[in-house]
Amino acid sequence: MLFTIFFALVAISAVDAEFDLGIGDDSDLFNFVTRPELRAPRFNVTVYDANRVTPGYWFVAPYASIVQQTQPKRYYQACQTGPAIYDGAGNLVWSGACEFRNQNTCDFRPFRSNGSDHLSAILYGWELDRKGRGIIMDSSYEVSHSINVPRAERSMNMHEMQMANDGKTAMYIIHKSDWVDISELSPFGIQEEAGWVFNIGFREVEIDTGKALFEWWALDHVPLSTSSVEIDGLDGPPPAGWNFFHMNSVDKNADGDYMISARYTDCIYKISGTDGHIIWRLGGDESSFALDAFNFSKQHDARFIEQNATTTVISFLDNASDGVNNVTSDVSTSYLVALETSVTPMVARVIRRWSRPDGHLSHARGNFQLLPNGNAFTAWSGNAYITEHAFDGDLVMEAGFASERFVTYRSYKHNFTGHPSEPPTLKAYAYGTSPATSTTVCYVSWNGATEVDSWDFYRNNSASEPIGRAQKTGFETMFQATGYYPDVYAQAISASGQVLGRSSVQLTVKSQDWQSQHTYKSQNVLSGLLTSEWPLLKSYGL
- 85, 92, 156, 361: which one binds ligand NAG (CB under 6 A): 361
User: What is the rounded distance in angstroms from the CA atom of residue 440 to the CA atom of residue 426?
Assistant: 13
Those residues with Cβ within 8 angstroms of residue 287's Cβ, 6 or more apart along the chain or in another chain: 267, 281
- CA–chain centroid gap for 202, Å, is 22
Longest dimension (CA), the chain: 92
Those residues with Cβ within 8 angstroms of residue 164's Cβ, 6 or more apart along the chain or in another chain: 170, 171, 204, 252
User: What is the rounded distance in angstroms from the CA atom of residue 13 to the CA atom of residue 32?
Assistant: 11
Nearest to 387 by CA among 28, 30, 48: 48
Q: Does position 164 bind ligand NAG by CB under 6 A? A: no
**281-300 residues near ligand NAG, rule: CB under 6 A:** 293, 295, 297-298
Q: Does position 176 bind ligand NAG by CB under 6 A? A: no
Nearest to 24 by CA among 96, 77, 84: 77
User: What is the rounded distance in angstroms from the CA atom of residue 498 to the CA atom of residue 450?
Assistant: 14
Minimum distance of ligand NAG from residue 537's CB (angstroms): 27
Q: Are 229 and 282 in contact (CB under 8 A)?
A: no
Q: Where does this chain touch ligand NAG (CB under 6 A) — which range of 150-158, 169-177, 213-221, 412-420? A: 412-420
Q: Where does this chain touch ligand NAG (CB under 6 A) — which range of 217-225, 227-235, 275-283, 370-378? A: 370-378
Minimum distance of ligand NAG from residue 244's CB (angstroms): 14
Q: Are 107 and 133 in contact (CB under 8 A)?
A: no
The residue (of 105 and 375) whose beta carbon lies closer to ligand NAG is 375
H helix or E strand, kind and range, residue 5 = helix 2-19
The residue (of 15 and 327) whose beta carbon lies closer to ligand NAG is 327
Q: Does position 338 bind ligand NAG by CB under 6 A? A: yes
What mask of x and - would describe binding to ligand NAG in positions 478 to 507, judged by CB under 6 A?
A: ---------x-----------------x--
What mask of x and - would describe binding to ligand NAG in positions 385 to 404, judged by CB under 6 A?
A: ---------------x-x-x
**33-52 residues near ligand NAG, rule: CB under 6 A:** 44
Q: Does position 428 bind ligand NAG by CB under 6 A? A: no
Those residues with Cβ within 8 angstroms of residue 422's Cβ, 6 or more apart along the chain or in another chain: 141, 447
User: What is the rounded distance in angstroms from the CA atom of residue 222 to the CA atom of residue 242?
Assistant: 14
Minimum distance of ligand NAG from residue 469's CB (angstroms): 20
Q: Does position 364 bind ligand NAG by CB under 6 A? A: yes
Minimum distance of ligand NAG from residue 315's CB (angstroms): 13
Please give the residue ranges that form the binding site for ligand NAG (CB under 6 A).
Answer: 44, 54-56, 113-114, 118, 136, 144, 167, 208, 263, 293, 295, 297-298, 308-311, 313, 319-323, 325-328, 330-331, 338, 360-361, 363-365, 371-373, 400, 402, 404, 413-415, 460, 462, 487, 505
